[in-house]
Structure 1
């Protein structure tokens, strides 16, 4: 397959690859479609996490031309950046005051999003979409929020507690 560029998202490298090849009147036209699978991240409620996303860039790229959009699902805006600054007027109320991009890192091709105070409602698929002078790039990550069991009347069996911790640790290791 013909490689069109590389997008590193969430610590995993993905290549934009040609998926379709059309032959028309002796001319070969190549349609590039980004092919990538979603990564997975597990977080505990109340924790702070970083959803990683990096993109191809050059030191000469003008950050004023950079567009970064983080979404949850297909319509919920988590964080937007364009015209050289955060643009949060369309941000979902659920994320108000809980997200942050690092402008110095954006200059280096890093559009990782910090999410503070993870909530059960944050569970779902997130998309990082970046457009710059090098092109447009997209990556996905699925955030699982670990369930907590609280029982105020009895103390849980220690075996159950350790078993749940082991399961969570195995899920985290499987992502790495």
Structure 2
């Protein structure tokens, strides 16, 4: 589903009855694992070349914290909150098609919440929500465990913080270094 806002503009100013533009963005919360990258986007329709416009991403739930700023053809990282500096990337080539795409890299649990995408010159905006879920320790099967005692075998599962050894015969589990 998409959220849609309607605005009317003519030569960068808002006028009733002028050509209408729609701003759409995802309405469903985007779920992303901690440490992964996430793509936030919104689209103006009909297409407007946004290369010379002001595009901002902010966090309305954190006193309008500035996530990313693009003005007059370039990014302005010095205006960003320190929490997002060097973690955001605006896809400049998409701006020509009226599409605003921003990536946040290595998301953290504190990145959960709403993000407001705004084209200030057009008084257009859209709110996108993300939910960062905690990255669980992933275990992978390493292979069978053998012993000098024939018939005594099981499996070893290796994880980031240790391994689990299961003895199939006695049905015992050894947690070696697992938190």
Report the Cα distance in structure 1 between the residues aligned to 2:5 and 2:120, rounded to whole angstroms: 16
Aligned residue for 2:140? none
Choose from 22, 29, 51 the match for 1:63.
51
The 5-angstrom pairing of residues 26-45 of structure 1 reads 38-45=27-34
Aligned to 2:129: 142
Q: In the TM superposition, what is the alpha-carbon distance from 1:47 to its structure 2 partner?
A: 0.5
Whether contact under 8 Å (1:72, 1:126) holds in the other structure is yes
| Greater fraction of residues in helix | 1
Q: RCO (CA 8 Å, sep 6+): is it higher in 1 or 2? A: 1
Structure 1 consecutive aligned stretches of length 4 or more whose deviation exceeds 3 Å = 36-39, 56-59, 148-155
1:39-68 per-residue CA deviation (whole Å, 9 max, x = no partner) reads 311000111110111123556x4722x110
Cα separation, partners in 2 of 1:100 and 1:37, compared to 1, 3 Å? closer
Q: Which runs of 5+ in 2 are unaligned?
A: 8-15, 18-22, 138-159, 165-179
Unaligned runs of 5+ in 1: 1-10, 18-28, 156-176
1:97 equivalent in alignment to 2:86: yes
Q: Say which SS state the counterpart of residue 63 (structure 1) adopts.
A: coil
- Matched-pair contact (CA < 8 Å) for 1:69–1:80: yes
The TM-score normalised by the length of structure 1 is: 0.60
Q: How many residues get paired?
A: 126
Q: CA RMSD in A?
A: 3.1
User: In the alignment, what sits opposite 2:2?
Assistant: 12
| Pick aligned residue for 1:72 from 59, 74, 81 | 59
